[in-house]
Structure 1
Amino acid sequence: MSSTLTEAMPAAEPAPARTARRPVVRALIVLAAVFGVLVLLRAITGENTITSGGTVSTTLALGLPIGMAALAGLWSERAGVVNIGLEGMMIFGTWGGAFGAYFSGNPWAGLLMGVVMGAAGGLLHALATVTFGVDHIVSGVAINILAPGVARYLSTIFFQDEPGGGATQSPPLPDFPTVSVPGIGEPLADLEGRHWFLLSDLAGLVRGLTTDLSALTVIGLALIPLTYVLLWRTAFGLRLRSCGENPYAAESLGVRVAAMKYAAVTVSGALAGLGGVFLAMVGSSQYQENQTGGRGFIGLAAMIFGNWRPGGLAAGTGLFGYTDALQQRGATGAVHALLLVIAVALFAFAAWRLASLRRAPVTPSEAGGLHRRSRIVQASAAVVVGMLMLTWYLLTDELPKEIVTYSPHITTLLVLSLASQRLRMPAANGLRYRKGEAR
């Protein structure tokens, strides 16, 4: 059929402007609330690192590669292709970025090469899953196994005889230019140093977001709202997302499902490659073996936490990057203070689940009873764990070093467990697609 998906759908009445603004307003309210909690926590504990400009900038640096992996997973899975090969595609990006930047002397050539190699990994995954019908998990695992071997082989060929290079690393690489808003760095630093309530915290936040940012950081941040616009505000995005929900219905309406899946998975690989370039050239000054350190898998966790939406995955990425930034900067007291935040969050979660019981209609069905009991159990568990966290915070002054080191992973797992109640992945995600085989 020649009609497109958008042509086949009935014309909808334009939604009121205030309805379109609700997600943005809600996101701003949540961000303001989180920042307010951190400000209060800094005032209570005296740990100025909690809202310092250095912590904010470090959060961006540590979170952006994970954010690119999460965004890569979003593109692929919204089209119905599970992509656990993100780790391998990031490895391709780290090596490609190093190769392009070193032999050209230009960081932008490194960016291009890293993105191209990541996209090649995505194209390989699309070929296996879309054309040959290979199980998505098997294909992703194969790419994760293949990438380190390919990178080691190519490093032996190209970097072994170069000064500072070797089979496991590249020579030093050129830097990307940095971007700052002129004239505000020193005044903000002075205001931040006074440690005034709220004003100094805002100064630290703004200074971290506006001074000495790598150009690649700015590009990566811009890709998150750009993805939202492309996938949720264009006909192309509607067609792509329909392939992840019901590819056979989309096919019947004229959507080229295979082409959409190929495009999405290739873009996914390119974004993962960009995250790899960031690790090699911004997070470090050279490519090193095992540089990704599982960030592709963490990016998948951030995407799931974000419910397969750009704003949510940005929040998950920020959470991991922030906790990682605290432990990287040696702020053990600030990490200890997060116990109090976790306790309060658990109490709030319990209150929300109990409040939802009062709003929900009481039904005599067995399913309704199970649903209510499930909410009561969740609220009770949250209260118990919250009391344990609060007791731990009150009875100790610092956390063991091992817990501080793994605090980003622990925090991410905890939040994922709480957020799992509202998650809904694309309906056809991970299913094998064959043109014309409607089910």
Structure 2
Amino acid sequence: MTTATDLTSAPLVVPPSPRRRRLPAWARAAMWAIGIVAVLSTASYLTGVNTLTSTNTAQTALRLALPILLCALGGLWSERGGVVNIGLEGMMILGTWGAAWGAYYGGPWAGLGAAILFGALGGLLHAIATVTFNVNHIVSGVAINLLGLGVAKYLATLIFEPLSGNPRQSPTVPTFDTYSATFLSNWLTDLEDQQRVFISDAAGLLNGLVTGVAPLTMIAILLVPVSYLVLWRTRLGLRLRSCGENPVAAESLGINVYAHRYLGVLVSGGLAGMGGASLVLLQGGGGYLENQTNGRGYIGLAAMIFGNWRPGGLLGGAALFGYADGLQLSGGGRAVLALLYGVVLLLFVIVVVQLIRRQWIAAALGVAGAGVLYWIYWSNDTLPSELTPYTAHVVTLIVLAVASQRLRPPKADGARYRRGEGD
């Protein structure tokens, strides 16, 4: 028989609270895509700037997003293995020279192979310095950037100057052919011309993604799910990520940390080289040009951080930066100003969500940011032409400031490691 004393001394068992179900990643991505199209459509309607959702803007944005996407994927492979790769810019520069050299003598596919090779060589130097000799990852990355720039200048003077008469650029090289989904493209063009709110805007953006697409574009987009499957669904990916989380524990399980880190950095360099090839071998490129990368390697690194070291997230970051860069090329200062209005609308939605979650500080910051951007929009008819080329860089700073609140990098990212140090 149970007494009152037994009842008071018994531990209180609290049933676990039911976990809230999260939507699948693809469903969340689809919701974000629909929301962004809705914001752009509303901004286009209210400002009268159709360039925000035009086919030309989407095509330009896709082309400009590719080098950022490929560099971001390269950073993902390296940093998931525990090696910080600030040298993406230098590897990308080597890729631009290799792409022009290979394409001049063997066509675009040879150029793509040469770009991957030269980028991987830059990755190999970074791996030797950081993995084998334990050099600080940031110092090595900066050195790779300077070395890549210097090597490309030397090789351009040596190889291209006798051919083109200019040491700063190569002769014109063949580029990849482009292909279009003709039936789908014609249907989307008809929808875009009807000027229906949201429907025509979505049609314009989609039309830019299926018109004039090169094989390199398709390969780059395909590499996003491939990277996810390899890194998160295979033994190789699990071992590589364990080297970035806890290399000592990985070593205790028989994993060769050095070999996996070398692999990650080599793949990283090859992908950065592919990013350089996209600047040379797609329409609008056609050859090597000094300072062609224009800091896109650093923006790719920012896209990877924005994406929280995840393939899907960095795809969104690359799309954002590519869109901002493409918009200023296709629409100029007026279009960029209209984009600020769209950002104000997006911030309003975010503030409402933050208020529902009772995150008062974040909501207050969102209100302040929206107020500043709306004041800029209201007080200007167009942005000065001197400022519009830096749209993507400004977006990079804003996005990193917002995204830094939720980042979770690999625990051993950038940490020095010696074999046997855990014994």
TM-score, normalisation: structure 1? 0.88
**Residue 290 (structure 1) shift:** 1.1
Contact 1:65 / 1:275 at 8 angstroms: preserved in 2?
yes
Partner in structure 1 of residue 364 of structure 2: 380
How much does 1:419 deviate? 1.4
Q: For residue 24 of structure 1, what is the aligned residue in structure 2? A: 26
| Alignment match, 2:173 | 173
Counterpart in 2 of 1:45? Answer: 47
Residue in structure 2 matched with residue 318 of structure 1 by the alignment: 319
Rounded Cα–Cα distance in structure 1 between residues aligned with 2:127 and 2:351: 42
1:416 aligns to 2:400 (yes or no): yes
Moved more, 44-53 or 348-357: 348-357
Q: Structure 2: how far apart are the matches of 1:253 and 1:35?
A: 47
Residue 214 of structure 1 and its aligned partner are, at CA, apart by 1.4
Gaps of at least 5 residues in structure 2 are 1-19
After TM superposition, list the pairs within 5 Å mapping 1:140-179 onto structure 2: 140-162=141-163, 164-179=164-179
Amino acid at match of 2:410: P
CA distance in 2, matches of 1:20, 1:255: 33
Aligned letter for 2:248? Y
CA distance in 1, matches of 2:254, 2:319: 39
Distance 1:134 1:402 in 2: 40
User: C-alpha displacement at 1:301, in angstroms?
Assistant: 0.7
For 2:331 and 2:22, locate their aligned partners in 1 and report how far apart those are by CA, in whole Å: 42
Misfit runs of 4+, over 4 Å: 18-21
Q: What is the CA–CA distance in structure 2 between the aligned matches of 1:206 and 1:385, rounded to whole Å?
A: 30
Q: CA, structure 1 residues 205+261, in 2 after alignment: closer, same or farther (shift >3 Å)?
A: same
Where structure 1 has 5 or more consecutive residues not aligned to the other structure, the ranges are 1-17, 358-374
* 1:399 Cα offset (Å): 2.3
**Partner-residue secondary structure (3-state), 1:43:** helix
Report the counterpart of residue 109 of structure 1 in structure 2: 110
Provide the identity percentage.
52
Selected match of 2:67 from 65, 68, 86: 65
Q: Deviations over 1:364-400 (max 9, x none)?
A: xxxxxxxxxxx54443232222122223323433223
1:225-264 aligned within 5 A: 225-264=225-264
Does residue 392 (structure 1) correspond to residue 376 (structure 2)? The answer is: yes
Please name the residue that 1:370 is paired with: none
**Structure 2 length-normalised TM:** 0.91
- Once residues 190 and 437 of structure 1 are traced to their aligned partners in structure 2, the CA distance between those partners, rounded to angstroms, is 65
**Distance in 2 between residues matched to 1:87 and 1:394, nearest whole Å:** 37
**Which residue pairs with 1:83 in the alignment?**
85
Answer yes or no: is the 8 Å Cα contact 1:49–1:331 preserved in 2: no
Q: Is the 8 A contact 1:76 1:264 kept in 2?
A: yes
d(CA) in 2 for partners of 1:20 and 1:167?
55
Q: Secondary structure at the match of 1:25?
A: helix
On the 8 A contact 1:169/1:287 being kept in 2, the answer is yes
Moved more, 348-357 or 29-38: 348-357
Query: Helix, strand or coil for the counterpart of 1:298?
Result: helix
Letter in 2 for 1:425: P
Partner of 1:188: 188
2:416 counterpart of 1:432: yes
SS of equivalent to 1:405: helix
Look up the match of 2:206: 206
Equivalent in the alignment of 1:341 = 342
Question: Conserved in 1, the CA contact under 8 Å of 2:52 and 2:339?
Answer: no
Partner of 1:286: 287
Partners of 1:302 and 1:70 in 2: how far apart? 6
Q: Is the 8 A contact 1:326 1:332 kept in 2?
A: no
Shift of 1:165: 4.9
